[in-house]
Amino acid sequence: MVAAESFPGDDAAAPVFVPFDMRGGKARYLACYRDAWRIAHGSLSGFDENACWNGARTRAAESPESVMEMRRNGEFAGILALDDRRGAWRGYGWIAFFYVAPPLRGRGLGRAMLDRAEEHFAALGRRAVRLTVAPGNPALGFYERTGFVRAGTEPGALEPLYVMEKKL
Please tell me the distance from the alpha carbon of residue 2 to that of residue 17, in angstroms, as a whole number: 5
The answer as to whether 152 is a domain residue is: no
Q: What is the dihedral of CA 141, 79, 52, 165, to 10 degrees?
A: 40
Whether the CB-CB separation of 166 and 113 falls below 8 Å is answered with: no
* Number of domains the chain contains: 1
Tell me the CB-side half-sphere exposure of residue 130, using CA atoms within 13 A: 23
The answer as to whether 30 is a domain residue is: yes
Nearest to 116 by CA among 93, 141, 135: 93
Please tell me the distance from the alpha carbon of residue 52 to that of residue 158, in angstroms, as a whole number: 15
Residues with pLDDT less than 70, the chain: 1-12
Q: Containing domain of residue 75, as a range?
A: 2-127
65-91: per-residue pLDDT in tens? 899 999 999 999 999 999 999 999 999
**Which CATH number covers residue 96?**
3.40.630.30
The answer as to whether 71 is a domain residue is: yes
pLDDT of residue 20: 96
153-163: per-residue pLDDT in tens? 999 888 999 99
pLDDT of residue 12: 62
pTM of the model: 0.89
The answer as to whether 166 is a domain residue is: no
Please tell me the distance from the alpha carbon of residue 120 to that of residue 112, in angstroms, as a whole number: 12
